[in-house]
Every structure is written in C-alpha cells, then in structure tokens.
Chain A
Amino acid sequence: MAILVTPQTKILVQGITGDFGGRHAKLSLDYGTLVVAGVTPGKGGQFFEHGGHKVPIFNSVADAARETGATVSAIFVPPPFAGDAILEGVAAGLELAVAITEGIPVKDMIRVKRAMQGSKTRLVGPNCPGVVTPGTGEGSKGGCRIGIAPGYIHKKGRVGVVSRSGTLTYEAVYQLTVKGIGQSTCVGIGGDPVNGTSHLDVIKLFNDDPETVGIIMIGEIGGSAEVEAARWVKAHCKKPVAGFIAGSTAPAGRRMGHAGAVIGGAEDTAAAKIAVFKECGIEVAATPSDMADALIRVAQTMGVTLS
C-alpha cells in the first residue's frame, strides 16, 4: 500500500510556472507521477508542457482540484506567499499539502498550523524534500514523486524512511537501494521548527501500513519530536526501527543550516536524543554511512526480512 501517496495519486503543483516548481514538475512527470494540474494565479487557462504532457494551469487550487480530481498539492511558492498557498489547499479540501518552500517566517507557520486545526488536510513540511512512493519501473519510475528528491535512487520495497533532512534521506535511501532493499514510502518532514506532519505521525502511518516491515528514522538537534516518536515506538511499534541523529558536533545556540536545527538546552542535543533512542530499542547508526546496516542488524535480530 505505501503511506500518504500511491502511484495512482493525482497531484497538482502550486507555483508550477516558477523556475523551481517547473523544474521539479518536469522531473515528476518524467518519473511517471500523475501531475494533473498546475496553479498560478493569473495564468489560468494556460498549459505547462513537457515531454508530450500538457498540464492545465488554473487560477486557484479549488478550480484545479474540482476540474482534475487532484487530491494532493506540491507547494513551490516563494516564502512570503507560501503560508497562504498552504491555506488555499486546506480550503480546497485537499488530502495532503506538501510544502517544499524554505524560509517561511515562523510566525506565518504558527498561524497556518492553528488555522489548519480540525481540517481534513495533512501538511508535510515546509522546508522539506517531499514524499516519494517508488514505482516498479526502471530506476523506480512509475511511482509518486512529490517534491525535489532524486527519483532514480529509490527502489520499490518495504522499508519506510522518515527524516528532517533532504540529503540525509537520499543517503539512507541510496544505501538501502544499493543493498537491494526497497522502500515503501520516503517522507521528508522538513527542517523548520514549526512543521505539519511529525516524526511520530509518520511512524504511526508506517506501523499501520502492512507493506512496511522496517523503518529508518533520521533526526537532528533541536526540538523534541524524535524523542516523542521514540517513546511511542517503544510502547507500540512492533517493527524494527533504526535511527540516526545529526549534529553531535554542533555548538549550542547556533542554527545549523535548518531553521529548526539549533540546540536550545540539554534535552535537544544529539547525545540526549541518541540516549533516548537506545533506551527505546531503536538501533542507532553510529555514522550516517551505517543507516541501512543498522536497520539490517535490528531486522535480523527480530527475524524480519527487509527485501
């Protein structure tokens, strides 16, 4: 089944006529993803053309969803307008909004998250690489790629990956693929201090997904989301889980690239999170090169076949 999206999911792209959104809409089309609509206010009626695809552009998310049946949005809108773009997707009743945009003011996200309370839309991101459910074609083509991840490094399979970082997700996915282990779905939840879907939300989805047999959880310094997820894993998750936390060498009080990657106190250091992981039975990768091997170790101990 995979989680969040399947190869049949119809997606729309907010900001499809921008450089960034356009480039990645093309890569998603090449991957075989059903990009059925674009949204750019003022350009409704035009088309986004690529490789034989002719994707209609609409003035609003509501129009795009109604006319094409799209249920998921990929948001590439610049930071000052991105909060608004998320809420437009919520108002249109989308199932999922994936916000790729980096640099949205925290205050905007505080308001967006409050406004989303009680709505049926799930938000992934912002400041994230997106979501990939690999397909069965060459280089995992035929899957659903929402966002900016390289599609070809994936392989269809049974391991779920959740991470706050883009390139670290690719690192983990690539290690798995090289070892012949495929992925059910890979979710980048983003590096901002206020985001939509949390580590725990994704872990719960993976736990409920019969297709997913093992999980890699990648976190970093700052906040307590990984700790919350780890405690839930200990209490409820029966599947093997491997984890990695980036930032052991990061100095306190400095933002390490991601807006949310900053040590605020003794609780949100890498060492503290790694200690909780171990306490909760999560197999900790000693280095980022060890992420796939860590999962293989814990799967073997539990008698689970990953591939």
Chain B
Amino acid sequence: MNIHEYQAKALLEKYGVPVPRGAAATTPEDFITALTRLPDGPTMVKSQIHAGGRGKGTFTDGFKGGVKFCKTKADAKEIAGKMLGNTLVTAQTGPAGRKVQTIYFTVASEIKKEYYLAILLDRATSRPVIVASTEGGVEIEKVAHETPEKIHKVHVDPAYGLADFQVRELIFKLGFNAAEGKNAGKLIRALYTMYWETDAAMIEINPLITTPTDEVLALDAKVSFDDNGLYRHPLITGLRDLNEEDPKEIEASKHSLSYIALDGNIACLVNGAGLAMSTMDIIKHFGGTPANFLDVGGGASKEQVVAAFKIILGDTNVKGILVNIFGGIMDCNVIATGIVEAVKEVGLKLPLVVRLEGNNVTAGKATLASSGLALVSGDTMADAAQKIVKLVAA
C-alpha cells in the first residue's frame, strides 16, 4: 500500500526524522488555514498523488509543474488554486493522469547539498538494505547504472538490528561534516526504526538534504507498506486513499479477487497468479493485447465468477473475454456451471473463449456446450488465446 507524501512526512516526524514544516489542504478554503501554520517567506506547493515525477509533470489544462517554488505565501495560495482539482500527468501516471485532491505546503528549505537514502528489502539476502548516495534529487536507477561506485549499501542483520558501525560507515561514505554526521546518524537510526516497526516495504528519501546550518532533512518521502503486514497497523491502514486506486480494482478486492487494469482489449479471467500472468503473455504472443490481470484464486465460487465478469465488463475497452481455468482440485463442472450462470446474469454480448482443464473436465465441457451460450471452447492455452485474438480482430 502506498501513502501520500504529506502522510509519510507525518509518520517520519513521529519517528523523529526531521522534515521541513508543512501543512496539507483539501479545499481552497483550507489553503489559508494551512498557510497560517507556516512562517512567512518562500513556500513550496506540492500536488499529492501516488506517482513520481510530479515536478516535471504537466496538468491536463496545460499548467506546468506539480511541485512549485513560491516566493511568498500569497503566491503559494494562488498556485495551489491552479493545482487542486486539476489532473496531473507525469512519467509515472500514464496519459490519463491523476486528479490532485490534496495540496501540501511546506517551508522552502535552503539546500546545501542533496543526497539519496532508502530502506527496502534486499531479496537476494532476505535482509533489509539501506541504500545511500551522494547523488540526490535525481533518478537513482540512473546513478546506479552510470556511477555504481556512488551507491553505498548496508545490509542489516535482523537478529541484531542496525549496528552503530553501519551507521558510521554510511556517514563517512556520504562525506558529512561532524555536525551533519551527528544529525544524519540520528536520522538514519530513526528511519530504520520506522521501517522495521511499521512493516514498511520501502522508505525512499530523495532528496535528503543538508542546510547551511548543518541540519539534515527529508525533503521528499515515498513510503509504501507490505500489504501482508497491514493487519498489525490499523492507523496506517486508515491512510489508504481510494481516490488513487482504479474503482475496478477496489471492487475486485471486495470479492477477494486480484485484479489489475491494463490498457488492452482482451479481458482474462484465470485461477492462479502465475497462470493469470502467463495468460496475458500468451494473448500478446498471438498478437492481441490483454485488458487486465485477474486471478480468481484457487476456490473460485459462482459469486466470485459473477463479480469478476461484472468488473471485466465495466472496462469499456474490452472487446472479448478469455477464461482460462486449470481446475486442479476444484470440479471443472462446478466452474463451468458458475461461468454459464454468470454469463446469463450479466447478459454477455462479447466473444467469449473458455479453456477448462483438470478435474471432471469432460462434464464441465458438456455443461458449457449444452448451455446454449455463444461461447467458444479452447483446448490448450495456445488454442484458446489464438481463438480469442481472432474473434476480437474480426
């Protein structure tokens, strides 16, 4: 689960990580209240959406920049008015962009130097890793690719926790002066505590900055959490912003379906994550484009299949549907009956190809054949994918 920058900053402050003073607002009326909480002078206005590249983004009405520096609070108020309710398109949002529903004002900090700092899981060692660099405020992937020697990593032993010598190692590698180093040390320890205690998946501070008075601040913050750990953190779970999620994905999660919207026109309904992914792949392989990822899970009920069809059909780009079920333990006939009832209930008019395999498949195929529905049966995944691609192209 992702959260907004202003929510991340509040959590950081709670754990003792210094951030620039800031205040959020969701209506133009709130702008004044929020700004009165900040001192007079240069102010940053930051659009709050769950996507990176905000500063270089463009709003759909042509206004440029989702993050702006303003010399005065009066300017900040005016700029915020142009961002709120407007749709911001960045390199990470896709062409549709995201509607800005919250503005975050912060004090514009004086920057001596920018750094990069992140904590995440290193899958190769199964340990948390702290990644730091003297190259902040830029894309870290680019730094890693072009100047890997400027990326410093410290792996934390979960049995002991972050050790002091590791914190010192990072401070020396980043070249802080004594006063900065003392502040950075406190910040790194606080950040690790937050990562560990909140079941965070990743905390990324880019940039981390030093100021002319040797303060060390998290100027920006991107924080995400391990969904599996959320049950332990009701307050963090409450930070979920449904406005940032596709309504179809929200509906799917209510039915314990795993659905991700894509931009193609062949919808798929599959059991199992690996099979669902490779069903998308095989559609593409035969020249089609998948409209979604949809895993109905191992024990798909009739109700789930109906819900899945409704979600799929809520996507107006969809021109055909491929159902791919490997009923290992489940009775294929039960699944077939569910498909038939679901199709009748939703009144499907699009081409539908069904590939069923597994337990009691003969009865399942017979149920589909005698249903009177205009569905096409596929034998293998390849056969089914070719059939739906052809039907959609026709």
- B residues near A170, Cβ cutoff 8 Å: 326, 328, 358
Smallest Cβ distance from B236 to chain A, in angstroms?
Answer: 13
Write the nearest CB–CB distance from A151 to chain B, whole angstroms. Answer: 9
- Please report the total number of B residues contacting A with Cβ < 8 Å: 54
- For residue A12, CB closer than 8 A to chain B, the reply is no
Please, how many angstroms separate the alpha-carbon atoms of A222 and B273 in the complex?
13
Are B281 and A256 in contact (CB-based, < 8 A)? no
CB pair B159–A115 under 8 Å, yes or no, is yes
Give chain A residues whose Cβ lies under 8 Å from the Cβ of B345. Answer: none
Instruction: Chain B residues near A148: list those with CB within 8 A.
Output: 298, 328-329
Residue numbers in B under 8 Å from A254 (CB-CB): 260
Determine whether A67 belongs to the interface, using a CB cutoff of 8 Å to chain B.
Answer: no
* Contact yes or no, A258 B273, CB < 8 A: yes
Chain B residues with CB under 8 Å of A27's CB are 329
Nearest Cβ distance between residue B290 and chain A, in whole angstroms?
6
A168 touches which of B157, B272, B298 (Cβ 8 Å): B272
Which residues 210-238 of A sit at the B interface, judged by CB distance below 8 A?
218, 220-225, 228
Taken residue by residue from 77 to 114, chain A's Cβ proximity to chain B (1 for < 8 Å, 0 otherwise) reads as: 00110000000000000000000000111111111011
**What per-residue 1/0 map shows which CB atoms of A166-191 lie under 8 Å from chain B?**
11111100100000000000000001
B123 touches A171 (CB 8 A): no
Nearest-CB residue, chain B, relative to A253: B92
Q: Does B369 contact A (CB under 8 A)?
A: no
Complex Cα gap A9–B63 (Å): 68
In the bound complex, how far is the Cα of B126 from the Cα of A114, in angstroms? 8
Determine whether A62 belongs to the interface, using a CB cutoff of 8 Å to chain B: no
Q: Please tell me which one of the listed residues A80, A107, A166, A194 contacts residue B274 in the complex, with CB atoms under 8 A apart.
A: A166
**Which single member of A174, A193, A261 contacts B277 (CB below 8 Å)?**
A261
Alpha-carbon distance A286/B293, docked complex (angstroms): 20
Decide if A110 touches B273 in the complex (CB within 8 Å). Answer: no
In the complex the two chains form, what is the Cα distance from A125 to B281 in whole Å? 25
Residue of A nearest to B381 (CB): A289
| Chain A 140-164: CB-based contact to B (< 8 A → 1; otherwise 0) | 0000000011101100000000011
Contact between A107 and B196, CB atoms less than 8 A apart: yes
B127 near A110 with CB under 8 A, answer yes
Q: Are B381 and A288 within 8 A (Cβ)?
A: yes
**Which residues of B sit under 8 angstroms from A251, Cβ to Cβ?**
260, 262
Please report the C-alpha to C-alpha distance between residue A189 and residue B381 in the assembled complex, in whole angstroms.
Answer: 23
Any chain A CB within 8 A of the CB of B162?
no
Given contacts A167-B271, A289-B382, contact A107 B277 (CB under 8 A): no
Using Cβ atoms and an 8 Å threshold, which residues of chain B touch A249?
262, 277, 280-281, 283-284, 290
Check A110–B285 contact: CB distance below 8 A.
no
Please measure, in the bound complex, the distance between the C-alpha atom of A80 and the C-alpha atom of B233, giving whole angstroms: 13
> Within 8 Å CB of A247, what residues of B?
277-278, 281
Residues of chain A within 8 A of B357, CB atoms compared: 174
Interchain CB contact (< 8 A) of B229 among A107, A167, A286, A287: A107
User: Is A42 close to B, CB under 8 A?
Assistant: no
- A134 shortest CB reach to chain B, Å: 14
Docked complex: B167-210 residues within 8 A CB-CB of A? 196, 199, 201
The answer to whether B158 and A110 touch across the interface, beta carbons within 8 angstroms, is yes
A113 to B158, CA, bound (A): 10
Residues on A with C-beta less than 8 A from B284 are 248-249
Docked pose: A254 CA to B262 CA in angstroms: 11
When distances are taken between beta carbons in the complex, the residues of chain A under 8 Å from B270 are: 167
The residues in A between 235 and 259 inclusive whose CB is less than 8 angstroms from any CB of B are: 244, 246-251, 253-259
Q: Is the interface of B mostly helix, strand, loop or mixed?
A: mixed
Asked if residues B293 and A193 are in contact (CB atoms below 8 Å), the reply is: no
Chain B residues within 8 Å of A167, by CB: 270-275, 326, 328
Count of residues in A whose CB is under 8 Å from the partner chain: 65
A67 to B127 alpha-carbon distance, docked (Å): 36
Question: B214 → chain A, closest Cβ, in Å?
Answer: 34
Q: Is A15 an interface residue (CB 8 A)?
A: no
Shortest Cβ distance from residue B141 to the other chain A in the assembled complex, whole angstroms: 6
Tell whether, in the assembled complex, residue A246 and residue B274 are in contact, meaning their CB atoms are under 8 Å apart. Answer: yes
**Residues B294-340 near A (CB distance < 8 A):** 295, 298, 326, 328-329
Any B CB within 8 A of the CB of A290: yes
Counting chain B CB atoms within 10 Å of each CB, the highest count among A106, A193, A194, A260 belongs to A106
Chain A residues whose C-beta falls within 8 Å of the C-beta of B92 in the assembled complex: 253
Q: How far is the CA of A250 from the CA of B261 in the complex (A)?
A: 11
Give 24 A-B contacts (CB < 8 Å), ordered by A residue: A105-B232, A107-B199, A113-B126, A150-B359, A165-B275, A166-B274, A167-B275, A167-B328, A168-B275, A170-B326, A224-B123, A246-B274, A249-B262, A249-B280, A249-B283, A250-B277, A253-B92, A256-B273, A257-B295, A261-B273, A266-B141, A270-B281, A287-B281, A287-B385
Contacts A106-B201, A107-B196, A107-B199 known; list 17 others, CB within 8 Å: A105-B226, A106-B199, A107-B226, A110-B158, A111-B158, A149-B328, A166-B274, A167-B275, A169-B274, A170-B326, A193-B121, A193-B123, A228-B124, A247-B278, A249-B290, A261-B277, A290-B382
Q: B residues within 8 Å of A by Cβ?
A: 92, 121, 123-124, 126-128, 141, 157-159, 196, 199, 201, 226-229, 231-232, 258, 260, 262, 270-285, 290, 293, 295, 298, 326, 328-329, 357-359, 380-383, 385
**Which 8 A-B pairs rank lowest in CB-CB distance, beginning with the nearest?**
A165-B274, A257-B273, A167-B272, A150-B328, A105-B229, A289-B382, A168-B274, A167-B275
